[in-house]
Structure 1
């Protein structure tokens, strides 16, 4: 990606995140409202709540009925149930879906949503038609199937958002590849790097997490329908056909594993946890660098908050939300694995219900943290002069000076000691490392020309081209490699989501054709 392309990418993000003016937005110090996406994440969910029980019931029925449509098509195609009865069931179920299951709302459900729903079909259509729906399956394999379908939505959104975060990191890294700053170890200035180099490092970790998320989600593409209660069925069903109709890549080869396992819950939460650790660490860095004491970065007005009491404040509070939500998946992983470990290796409520319920907040909060970090990275501007000042004042070129002495023939430990003394001298005199080095013959001999700026942090950063350092050729190579990796992973994300969408469309077409031909 060229610098111009990268700038355009950042501009595109800014355009997508323009905010609407809200009452009370002008605080005197801050003239814009909070970014719309950030406002939705931080505030709107507390106003709207997490959704009613009725909404949850409708969502569950939509998932169940989607599986029903595929299952009934397969039963008809295999000749297990005659097409006439299947067509009536398909038509009735499709009508319920179109009406958002209105006639089921308010019904007593003493044995759960599915049995109330199946009972309603039997009541309307009679036992001979409504009673064939459950042929060759159990609630166990049905539940194992619907939870995979339910996961697709938030999981797919997360994949896309992580890819967008990586894209913004790489775009910003390209734009700021020459902005020199100190790298920090133990909270102290260490060596000169660039802000772009730092962002490239973050992008590397984010892309590994994207790859891990893709791998962790492969299990949700395996169709468990047909496993029955735990031992399969004697009915000659075709799980590969229902897999095709529902957008899975294949059928589960073992019935025990199909209903006993929810490994994908643990794997997804683990992958989210790893990504969350990276995001929390980055948020800590940015929180430090945006403080008045450091002043290395400045956040856009629509990404900071004011104070209800202190009019001078510009609080980068979104970074605290990133840190908080980044840890949700870790808590979910511990809770889910603890619940799952209490069950034997068969169908169990501890596995299918108690462990799975921790997946949804884990995915949601990780998605929110990723979105907020994307907004922050796109809206953070480096304070170039301050970064350079801290790179000089922190003596970040000292290691380069020691290595230069080594290349001139001095043993490293002796060079290390000599440069340490030179730094101490610079501190005592209140001068730069370059100036202090003039009093030491071994150092002065290395300075080219008048030696006025030979220890400039920008030049030193450019010289660190080995071992993955910030040198120009090294950064270019890293950005090319990471961009290619992002394109590969993005293609996989797109293909996976397209397969799910296309399967849903094909299922609708197949159902309509079967009903119309009967």
Structure 2
């Protein structure tokens, strides 16, 4: 007997089975990218991405460059180098399956090298580690490993900046109150706020670009800590691996993981910014403020309360924004226990904080980008809050100053005018004409002279929302964004070109053996 439900079996009045997409109040599913971030408990920072295979691929990539260089320098003959390179490439094609099940009593690298020696013999397999230590090898592979999460983070940061600038331009005329101490302060525009956030995001992007220059320096050749007597060519391996230069000092090469601290530091600064913006947006999306409305695919429902539209992604932004700060604290603490030489506390214990720190920051940036793109300002509500919050009061005081009244006196007079407006239930424009000491300044202006739009447009100095200042700010920010995108694109192109060049050089050595 079939137990498949059908229309005849439906309970009268029962909710339709929509797989949780339609809650009654919400008609669409959560944005797919946001869903992946907030509901994937094995996220990109968890280490659940085959760490053994990833590390072996990085090691073997360094091996390929190292062997090409050793061959070119005449340190290892082409026959043995070609045999090794061919076997390494076959191992990579097999996803390192023969190595994965080997005992690893002294670590992954020695198990991998041991398999190559067993396969090819000591005379061939044993030359792989010529002029090299695990210390400079590890210092090199960690820089290669950092490229992908670092690139993902920078992609998202630059995309966030782009969305902020697009929305800043779209909403440049949507007047709202700027808030200080949680109170309406002066009139700006929602676009002006977003452009300000974009400027801070772009500074963080610049910090990340600067930190990334440190992973473009090649430590290979530094050996255990004192270099090597073998005439290796670090500049050549740097070229083959996409680095820009070789480390000039062997101690610094193996002792330093400063790039991890600098990446986490730049990410932490960005995280603080994103948490602060998320706090603003959380307030502005409340029913009490009502300044912004989120699309259905950016909010959640309640399992119990049918009326709820929870902007819960903002809470995830606040939570994940702290990942880099936590990572920096952990990494810096671990490093501070070690001397300035190769150390597990630095190369392993400190660096392990980098990956979740970068991943958490990337995810927070992604969520904030989605929220900014999908948040729609309520123009009427924003304008009303700017008007009812008396945000034009400072402008009125400044007009009195232009008429020759000292600012502190003007400040007092306008304060009295605001009280009169509150007592009489009047807009500030009307109240200003009822106060004897203020009415003279108001007399020469039209009835709407203290409307928030008028005042915002008049604040054209000091980077305010009026005059040509918004255009100048947007032009400068877009120029900074384009420059950052260009620099990052060149870096990624160099990495990709190097990988292709290395494959070509490996093929030549294998063919010549």
TM class, shorter-length: over 0.9
> Do the aligned partners of residues 33 and 197 (structure 1) sit closer, same or farther apart at CA in structure 2, a change above 3 Å counting?
same
Q: Which of 458, 469, 477 matches 1:482?
A: 477
Give the Cα–Cα distance (whole angstroms) in 1 for the partners of residues 403 and 45 of structure 2.
67
The Cα shift of 1:441 comes to 2.9
Give the Cα–Cα distance (whole angstroms) in 2 for the partners of residues 386 and 205 of structure 1.
27
Q: Which of 95, 100, 104 matches 2:99?
A: 104
- Mapped contact 1:336–1:358 kept (Cα < 8 A): yes
Q: Which of 287, 293, 298 matches 1:292?
A: 287
Q: Secondary structure at the match of 2:442?
A: coil
Give the Cα–Cα distance (whole angstroms) in 1 for the partners of residues 352 and 48 of structure 2.
16
Show structure 1 runs of 5+ residues with no match: 1-20
> Normalising by structure 2, what TM-score?
0.95
1:30 and 2:30 matched:
no
The Cα shift of 1:454 comes to 1.1
Counterpart of 2:321?
326
Give the Cα–Cα distance (whole angstroms) in 2 for the partners of residues 454 and 332 of structure 1.
52
Counterpart of 1:120?
115
Q: Which of 128, 131, 144 matches 2:139?
A: 144
Give the Cα–Cα distance (whole angstroms) in 2 for the partners of residues 72 and 186 of structure 1.
63
> Do the aligned partners of residues 179 and 271 (structure 1) sit closer, same or farther apart at CA in structure 2, a change above 3 Å counting?
same
> Do the aligned partners of residues 136 and 63 (structure 1) sit closer, same or farther apart at CA in structure 2, a change above 3 Å counting?
same
RMSD of aligned residue pairs (Cα, Å): 1.4
Correspondence list, 1:169-208, <5 A: 169-208=164-203
Give the Cα–Cα distance (whole angstroms) in 1 for the partners of residues 424 and 271 of structure 2.
45
Correspondence list, 1:255-270, <5 A: 255-270=250-265
- Mapped contact 1:434–1:451 kept (Cα < 8 A): no
Q: Which of 229, 246, 253 matches 1:251?
A: 246
Counterpart of 2:63?
68
Counterpart of 1:495?
490
Give the Cα–Cα distance (whole angstroms) in 1 for the partners of residues 243 and 387 of structure 2.
57
1:301 and 2:293 matched:
no
Give the Cα–Cα distance (whole angstroms) in 2 for the partners of residues 106 and 97 of structure 1.
15
Correspondence list, 1:247-396, <5 A: 247-396=242-391
Give the Cα–Cα distance (whole angstroms) in 2 for the partners of residues 367 and 307 of structure 1.
27
Give the Cα–Cα distance (whole angstroms) in 1 for the partners of residues 447 and 210 of structure 2.
54
Q: Secondary structure at the match of 1:381?
A: strand
The Cα shift of 1:51 comes to 5.1
Give the Cα–Cα distance (whole angstroms) in 2 for the partners of residues 217 and 389 of structure 1.
46
Give the Cα–Cα distance (whole angstroms) in 2 for the partners of residues 450 and 87 of structure 1.
86
Would you say how many aligned residue pairs link Structure 1 and Structure 2? 497
Deviations 1:262-288 (A, max 9, x none): 000110000000000000000000000
Counterpart of 2:212?
217
Give the Cα–Cα distance (whole angstroms) in 1 for the partners of residues 189 and 467 of structure 2.
10
- Mapped contact 1:465–1:471 kept (Cα < 8 A): yes
- Mapped contact 2:216–2:242 kept (Cα < 8 A): yes
1:508 and 2:508 matched:
no
The Cα shift of 1:23 comes to 2.3
> Do the aligned partners of residues 322 and 257 (structure 1) sit closer, same or farther apart at CA in structure 2, a change above 3 Å counting?
same
Give the Cα–Cα distance (whole angstroms) in 1 for the partners of residues 279 and 45 of structure 2.
29
Give the Cα–Cα distance (whole angstroms) in 2 for the partners of residues 353 and 47 of structure 1.
21
1:238 and 2:233 matched:
yes
Counterpart of 1:165?
160
Q: Which of 396, 405, 411 matches 1:401?
A: 396
Q: Secondary structure at the match of 1:225?
A: coil
> Do the aligned partners of residues 248 and 25 (structure 1) sit closer, same or farther apart at CA in structure 2, a change above 3 Å counting?
same
Give the Cα–Cα distance (whole angstroms) in 1 for the partners of residues 467 and 295 of structure 2.
28
Q: Secondary structure at the match of 1:389?
A: helix
The Cα shift of 1:289 comes to 0.2
Deviations 1:396-416 (A, max 9, x none): 000000000000111101100
> Do the aligned partners of residues 472 and 45 (structure 1) sit closer, same or farther apart at CA in structure 2, a change above 3 Å counting?
farther
